[in-house]
Structure 1
Amino acid sequence: MQVNETLNEGLKRGYAITVTAAELEAKVNEKLAEAQPDVEMKGFRKGKVPMALLKKQFGQRVTGEAMQESIDGAMSEHFEKSGDRPAMQPEVKMTNEDWKEGDDVEVTMTYEALPEIPELDMGKVKLEKMVVKADDAAVEEALSNLAETAQDFKARKKGSKAKDGDQIVIDFVGKVDGEPFEGGAAEDYPLVLGSNSFIPGFEEQLVGVKDGEEKQVTVSFPDDYQAEHLKGKEATFDCTIKEVKEPVAAEINDELAKKFGSDDLAALKSQISERLEAEYAGASRAVMKRALLDALDEMVDFDLPPSLVEAEAGQIAHQLWHEENPEVQGHDHPEIETTDEHNKLANRRVRLGLLLAEIGQKAEIEVTDAEMTQAIMNQARQYPGQERQFFEFVQQNQQMQQQMRAPIFEDKVIDHIVEKADVTEKEITKEELQKAVEELENE
């Protein structure tokens, strides 16, 4: 077997591989000899079929397998000896397409090699870590927001008109074609106007009612209503308004704390403080991560495989086009051309991706099964009632697994670099952190 270099320009590589006819025939005979003991054929005992008959019966198929194995073996041996790592799947073509038995097999292999990544002195990376403490004002603001979500209702002055957001207590009887229908009646029902908890159009007709008033509401059931016999039907509801209440924020006390699962107000404040500082830490990390990537982009430079940059630029252009044209859901659209800006961003992403992958490999960083399971479970929660199906889908889809594994791996590599970097802490206000995050999002 011969492997001769035909191209070596930058990261582009080309090789001509020749598998001689004698080597191929020897491999075919070897494979047939291995299979012979298990072959049964009419007129012969098991394992006693003559080699010539085996070759006539199975030779063509076995030759194809032997040819593929020989080429694969030559490629593996080449990559092991050269140390090259192809950026993408090598392109392999058979050059003597008129090949017949007894001819040498001639193949060309071309690929782009991954570049040699320079060693990074992580101690020279200087970073600033923003630290925000949850002060009393922030905790009190969060408490007030919680109190609003846990709002109560108190009776309005007698004769007051119900407003959107008010709660009215009503008795009602629903009728279709003048006849009451099952499930269409209730007494002392507390309905918050604007909550959209009733049939479309129902709540709007009750804005402006007063306590003691009787009002008939006319609505039509939606065509997709769950009850088959009511789909699309017009219905009337005879309503008696018994009370009109206005929303009031819940009092900030131990009772409010218990509504949110805390023992008392002090415990709730402590939990809020911890949650706020966790949120601040997450935002601070996002800002520091961007600063780290910017620093790495400045510190490291090396040749990039053109195919990777081209593929990344195409993906960026495609994603941005869909963001600008959200009405187009599928991919039935004009060809999207990449711009210099797309290529510039693609160069950065590919360079940083290769660098982080190299650092992670050298540091033996891996994504554990437990981390993957947790990530899948977190994403599965976005599909209520279909969690199991989503879990099984991911388990059977290698590409999906890779998409979920990549950001976990990247974050672990980022943490590894930060541990070795020169990091200084700077205590700032919540507003300063918010401004830094907004600047990050606007870039």
Structure 2
Amino acid sequence: MKVNKEQIGENEVKLDVEVDAEEVNNALDQAYKKIVKDVEIDGFRKGKVPRGVLEARYGEEVLHKDALDILIPKAYSEAVEESEIEPISQPDIVDAFIEKDKPATFTAEVETQPEVNLGEYTDLDIEDETEEITEEDVMNELENRREKFAELKVADREEVKDEDFAIIDFDGYHNGEPFEGGSGEEYTLEIGSGTFIPGFEEQLIGVKVGEEVEVDVTFPEEYHADNLAGEGVTFKVKVKEIKEKVLPELDDELAKEVSDFETLDELKEDISSTLKEEAGQRAENEFANNLIETVAGNTEVNIPETMIENELDTMMQGMQQRLQQQGMDFDQYLEMTGTDEEAFRSQHKSEAEKRVKSNLALEAIAEKEGIEVTDEEIENKIKEIAEAQDQEPDMIKAFLQMQGQYDSVVDSIKMENTIDFLIENN
């Protein structure tokens, strides 16, 4: 096989490829075996028509398209390897020629990985600040745990106040008529939580148990029901009961109830240690992000639009997967946010470009510094994935290979190693 490479743009290459006649004839043979299965000609059983008869009836060209389909993918792959280019898109195949006993030729035009000019990426002055954990932070976490073990008890008073839990019946009316979803019975509403329409909860403060009142509110302009968006409505509300939250005492008994510790002091010490560890992790992540951003800022590269569009595709797929986990599809999300796919891509384009530039910079550093991935690191990563999914490592490895995701796992480890290199050298 012969390959001639020509740079036809900053990030675009043309490959003129010539394939040996022997391979051409093999491809034509394979094409005949594929086509003949479905050919019927009088005097011959289906699938048994001789090649000479087939070509005489339909012309030798009958095999050319299938032969090229067999020939080009392998030849293109070998041409890419021989030319030492890194394609970032599917090739545009033009001027394909094939004929028995002659070399086949075709031209492939393809976008390639851009040239990356690295700036400074070691000995950078990046601020690293770990937030200080105070006694107030520890007490706030303790309060959160108290909240989880709080009990609702009937209040020994008649009037609703802020932070109460009012048990209510309600019926909503729009222009004097009941509307769908506007009624409820024995509904527990936390006053001040902001879970109802703005203004609703405040109008219940001071209302007595057993009292019926009318509450006038206006639905937000962005309300999901078009017939109610921005419209004023009236609710007839009856307060049936008032409950208030009772928190457990902040003592050793609470520590035993909410943890494995015997005393409150032990629990506070553990909370402090956990908060410090989390703060350290946040600071480390922030440092790494700032470091990557600085390195990318020092890097010069002309990013092809194709790479940005590919990253946008990846971002959309990630969004779709997260939405599916929440029981929502992407179209529902777009409808709820009042946008469409084109607007989504436009809104996230700058972020996609930023990600692509960061990845290109990290890849260039990995290549320049000779950062590699060991078999042990791959095995450990696969074990980690297997444990998270409660599967056997061998099964996960086979699945990744079958889905073509194995190389992505290796690439992700290389990126982690590269980031570790940057952290150690800055």
- Fold equivalence (TM over 0.5): yes
| Range into which the TM-score falls when normalised by the shorter chain | 0.5 to 0.7
Q: How far does residue 284 in structure 1 lie from its aligned partner after superposition?
A: 0.6
- Partner residue of 2:164? 166
1:15 and 2:11 aligned: no
In structure 1, give the amino acid aligned to 2:249: E
Contact 2:24–2:99 (8 Å) recurs in 1: no
CA deviation string 1:175-208 (max 9, x = no partner) = xxxxxxxxx987xx98644568999999777532
- Partner residue of 1:257? 255
**Structure-2 separation of matches of 1:240 and 1:271:** 43
Q: Aligned ranges for residues 34-433 of structure 1 at < 5 Å?
A: 49-55=49-55, 56=57, 62-94=63-95, 105-114=104-113, 130-131=129-130, 134-148=133-147, 150-151=149-150, 161-167=159-165, 192-194=190-192, 206-210=204-208, 214-216=210-212, 241=241, 247=245, 249-264=247-262, 265-294=264-293, 296-297=295-296, 304=301, 306=302, 308=304, 311-312=307-308, 328-331=338-341, 345=354, 348-349=357-358, 351-355=360-364, 358=367, 362-364=372-374, 368-369=381-382, 409=413, 412-418=416-422, 421-422=424-425
User: What percentage of aligned pairs have identical amino acids?
Assistant: 24
CA deviation string 1:40-84 (max 9, x = no partner) = 987568996533135457965542222233333332222222322
**Structure-2 separation of matches of 1:48 and 1:164:** 88
Q: Which moved more, 1:70-79 or 1:24-33?
A: 24-33
Q: Which runs of 5+ in 1 are unaligned?
A: 175-183, 225-233, 320-325, 378-394, 424-443
In structure 2, give the amino acid aligned to 1:296: V
Contact 1:309–1:346 (8 Å) recurs in 2: no
**Structure-2 separation of matches of 1:44 and 1:307:** 58
Contact 2:371–2:414 (8 Å) recurs in 1: no
Cα pair distance change 1:118/1:361, threshold 3 Å: farther
Q: How far does residue 338 in structure 1 lie from its aligned partner after superposition?
A: 12
Q: Which moved more, 1:12-21 or 1:43-52?
A: 43-52
CA deviation string 1:361-406 (max 9, x = no partner) = 73356594555578899xxxxxxxxxxxxxxxxx9xx79x89x979
In structure 1, give the amino acid aligned to 2:107: T
Contact 2:64–2:99 (8 Å) recurs in 1: no
Contact 1:147–1:250 (8 Å) recurs in 2: yes
Q: Which moved more, 1:112-121 or 1:76-85?
A: 112-121
DSSP-derived class of the 1:362 partner: coil
CA deviation string 1:76-133 (max 9, x = no partner) = 222222322223333322267xx89899754222234436778999886776654556
Contact 2:11–2:304 (8 Å) recurs in 1: no
CA deviation string 1:383-436 (max 9, x = no partner) = xxxxxxxxxxxx9xx79x89x9799657623553257x246xxxxxxxxxxxxx
DSSP-derived class of the 2:53 partner: helix
Q: How far does residue 337 in structure 1 lie from its aligned partner after superposition?
A: 12
**Structure-1 separation of matches of 2:22 and 2:72:** 15
In structure 1, give the amino acid aligned to 2:207: V
Q: Name which structure has the greater RCO, CA cutoff 8 Å, separation 6+.
A: 1
Contact 1:360–1:413 (8 Å) recurs in 2: no
Cα pair distance change 1:347/1:262, threshold 3 Å: closer
Cα pair distance change 1:267/1:372, threshold 3 Å: same
Q: Which moved more, 1:9-18 or 1:70-79?
A: 9-18
DSSP-derived class of the 1:93 partner: strand
**Structure-2 separation of matches of 1:89 and 1:158:** 73
Q: How far does residue 17 in structure 1 lie from its aligned partner after superposition?
A: 2.6
Q: How far does residue 34 in structure 1 lie from its aligned partner after superposition?
A: 9.2
In structure 1, give the amino acid aligned to 2:113: L
Cα RMSD, aligned residues only: 6.1
Provide the TM-score with structure 2 as the length reference.
Answer: 0.58
Q: How far does residue 165 in structure 1 lie from its aligned partner after superposition?
A: 1.6
In structure 2, give the amino acid aligned to 1:72: P
DSSP-derived class of the 1:17 partner: strand
**Structure-2 separation of matches of 1:338 and 1:214:** 53
**Structure-1 separation of matches of 2:297 and 2:282:** 23
Cα pair distance change 1:422/1:238, threshold 3 Å: closer
Cα pair distance change 1:195/1:281, threshold 3 Å: same
CA deviation string 1:149-180 (max 9, x = no partner) = 65556786756x3213224579x899xxxxxx
**Structure-2 separation of matches of 1:76 and 1:125:** 40
Q: How far does residue 289 in structure 1 lie from its aligned partner after superposition?
A: 0.7
Q: Which moved more, 1:357-366 or 1:264-273?
A: 357-366
**Structure-1 separation of matches of 2:27 and 2:197:** 76
